[in-house]
Amino acid sequence: MSAEIYAILLSIVMVIAVAWPLLLAIPALHSRLYWPRHLAIVPVALLAVLPGNVSLQLPWLLFGTGFTIDDATRWVLAMSVVIWFTAATMITSSKQGFANGRSTTFFLLTLAGNLGAVLANDLVGFFCFTTIMSYGFYALFVQNGNAETQRAGRLYLIFLIIADLLLFEALLLAAFTTDNLRFEGVREAMAKASSSQFYLWVTFIGFALKTGIWPAHLWLSSAFKSTNQATALLIIGVPVVMGWLGAVRWLPLGEHAFGISAMIIQMIGVIGVLYATLKLCTPTSVKIVWMSSGAASLFIAALGTGLAHPTIWRQYEYLGYPFIASLGILLALLIVTIGWTQKTRHQHPAVALPRVEILNRWIGATRQWGEDTLLGLQSLWHVSWLKVVKHYQYSSHWQKLQDFVAGWNATITLFVLLGLALAWLAA
């Protein structure tokens, strides 16, 4: 088989990988199939294992978008396949009512959006597919949920809309600056543009909101608390990891040293990591939220480093996608493990994670957010970490933190250390 024909075949598989789940999302179709969720993943799984890089331009789609599969994308794609497959299996095997037709539609829509976003090679395509993905995910998330889920969904939606607005501004800025909206083109153009600082911040905040780092983690805590395991898994696979991916793709990394902005981003990342670590020690917290938030912060710290020192980024760029993929997989693994342990412990369906404090239900979202933000601000003001530690000491959590670090899950600590190392690599 000649290389050209192979490339064409690969392109076809690539298009099918995105179009197939979309097609199956039609209720009349998937209701007549067995295992529609798994079926939808088949082409993309095939794409993930087939070797070779190919890029396909579709000038008639949107403003002329395209799909690319290369080694870097393949990492994320593989992670997505694993997560989606696991989620599909969980949903199919669960005996609860959420495996109905509508849920399948939303599942497949989200899947298609997710895959499209991973494969898209320009800003508009990415933006478009993440929109489909995000709203599909919202639907998937809230459709069978209780009041708590709905609340979380609402919060997610608010963050999502604001993030989308910001990203749209970034998109306009990019389109205004350059005609070539492919990721490389934008990266180059935006690094040189006069509006690069603004672009950087708009993009950063947009994706930060989407990934749910502190202080935009609120919906995550509600979400993880109230949802089932498969959806929890998808929270990692869909909004969180896609936020990371977007940031890496959109930001003008490795082109231009951003100085103070990059430092601030780094700081935010580090603070996030520390804060998440501390939160993990409080017994009342939902562990997975802070793990996820911590991981996101870690990622952001690394991002800040990349922005501050283009040379370092270029040196380690090849690690970026595997890093994202492995973070995603690890978080997913954690969720599965937690779910499994709880299932064995309580002999109870893994719908709800341990019944965290009842108090939390009483305080409204605003209050909690205010509280968290205040704490965070405090830590910002008192740069002396000792005081923060003291704060926790006085609040008698210190002992528990120690217990936790020692006994519960060593991997977290390892992750934190790894992140810190990466973040301060340049400094």
- Residues in contact with another protein by the rule CB under 8 A: 27, 59-64, 102, 124, 127-128, 131-132, 135, 139, 142-143, 150, 157, 161-162, 164-165, 168-169, 171-173, 175-176
Structure tokens at 144: 């069978």
How far apart are CB 124 and another protein at their closest, in Å?
7
How far apart are CB 324 and another protein at their closest, in Å?
23
- Rg of the chain's alpha carbons, rounded to an integer? 21
Minimum CB distance to another protein smaller for 51 or for 59: 59
- Whether the CB-CB separation of 406 and 252 falls below 8 Å is answered with no
How far apart are CB 228 and another protein at their closest, in Å?
16
Structure tokens at 182: 């492919």
How far apart are CB 134 and another protein at their closest, in Å?
9
Q: What separation in angstroms does the CA of 112 have from each of 68, 127, 136, 146, 425? A: 15, 13, 9, 26, 37
CA torsion angle 240 245 250 255 (round to 10): 130
Minimum CB distance to another protein smaller for 16 or for 132: 132
Minimum CB distance to another protein smaller for 207 or for 275: 207
How far apart are CB 424 and another protein at their closest, in Å?
36
If residue 124 lies in a helix (H) or strand (E), which one and from where to where?
A: helix 123-142
Burial class (CB in 10 A: 0-12, 13-18, 19+), 364: exposed
Minimum CB distance to another protein smaller for 102 or for 382: 102
Minimum CB distance to another protein smaller for 16 or for 175: 175
Minimum CB distance to another protein smaller for 39 or for 157: 157
Rounded to whole angstroms, how far apart are CA atoms 187 and 420?
A: 26
Residue owning tokens 């430092």: 263
Rounded to whole angstroms, how far apart are CA atoms 188 and 268?
A: 25
Minimum CB distance to another protein smaller for 164 or for 255: 164
- Whether the CB-CB separation of 338 and 353 falls below 8 Å is answered with yes
CA torsion angle 120 121 123 126 (round to 10): 10
How far apart are CB 21 and another protein at their closest, in Å?
16
Residue owning tokens 């192979």: 6
How far apart are CB 281 and another protein at their closest, in Å?
36
Minimum CB distance to another protein smaller for 89 or for 180: 180
How far apart are CB 198 and another protein at their closest, in Å?
10
Minimum CB distance to another protein smaller for 175 or for 389: 175
For every residue of 182-239, DSSP letters joined together read BHHHHHHHHHHSTTHHHHHHHHHHHHHHHHT-TTTTHHHHHHHHHS-HHHHHHHIIII
How far apart are CB 150 and another protein at their closest, in Å?
7
